Amino acid sequence: MSTPIRHRRLDVNGIDVFYREAGPADAPLLLLPHGYPGSSFVYRNLMTALSDRWRTVAPDLPGFGYSATPPAEDFGYTFDAHSDFLADFVDALGLDRYAIWLHDYGSQLGFRLAMSAPDRVSGLVIQNGDVYEDEFGPKYDVLRKLWEHPGPGARRAYAEHVSLDGFRDEFAGELPDGVADRIPPDLWTLHWALLSTPERQANLVQLLEDQPSTLAWFPRERAYLREHRPRTLIVWGPHDGYMPEGAATAYRRDLPDAELHLLGGGHWLLETHLDEVVPLVRDFLGRLEP
């Protein structure tokens, strides 16, 4: 029997943080950091589906969802800042053993957490989170040009993307007929409503500008996979303009024993193919050491 999701708040270094939690308090834990432009809301269905046997915890990052938005001079709104926050959040909750879900920008935060304390990691679930630059999809072409020419022009381009239409494209782009209509418009309307303040828009632009900093981490993340060989499940939607099929199969270079499943969706697989993802995840988590 599933259990209700609990909606909680926590002070993390002076930041009022909203997070969702489900499942028994003493059950094996799955940590769910979210990506752009999402929030813990994107994990709601997965959390319910796992709540009979696993504890799931999904925070809203600072400046996202229902968490506070500290001033930019107090919080960097960079990948480094968000990675440090995730580690502080884990410590504030007293979590010392967990599997980590790696998706979108959240994959970068989760990888750094895993690298900082490998012995705490029981396993990884990778869902459209890339660390292989040579397998970037066509939607990265525009980003590469912005990365190569940073400055006011690039900032204006990022700002144009931080919009309701931009969010709609992030959530519903590239999906084939028969799949696109499974993406609820709640995703872009809710997240735009939550992120449309001038302060949050400016912070999002800053985070987008900082994305090139993640490229230097890719070799270190791949080295972590080779050295520590974490138990890994890959569930992937190949209809993804950023992270197509090759971005998933590339993980086999460093984790040849990883379980890999290419499903029929795209970047937001939990909205379109949850019924296929859940049995795979339940089977995988059930085989992890507590």
Residue recorded with tokens 């931009």: 166
Residue recorded with tokens 């028969």: 178
Whether 114 maps to a domain, the answer reads yes
**What's the domain range around 169?**
6-286
The CATH number that applies at residue 273 is 3.40.50.1820
Whether 1 maps to a domain, the answer reads no
Taking only the tens place, the pLDDT of each residue in 88-99 is 999 999 999 999
DSSP 232: E
What's the half-sphere exposure (Cβ side, CA atoms, 13 Å) at 70?
A: 17
As for how many domains the chain has, the answer is: 1
Taking only the tens place, the pLDDT of each residue in 140-188 is 999 999 999 999 999 999 999 999 999 999 999 999 999 999 999 999 9
Whether 18 maps to a domain, the answer reads yes
Whether 186 maps to a domain, the answer reads yes
Side chain identity at residue 287, one-letter code: R
Taking only the tens place, the pLDDT of each residue in 221-265 is 999 999 999 999 999 999 999 999 999 999 999 999 999 999 999
Separation CA 204–CA 37 (nearest Å)? 9
Q: Is the pTM of this model over 0.75?
A: yes
Closest CA relative to residue 98, chosen from 116, 117, 123, 115? 123
- How many CB atoms are closer than 10 A to CB 220? 12
Whether 273 maps to a domain, the answer reads yes
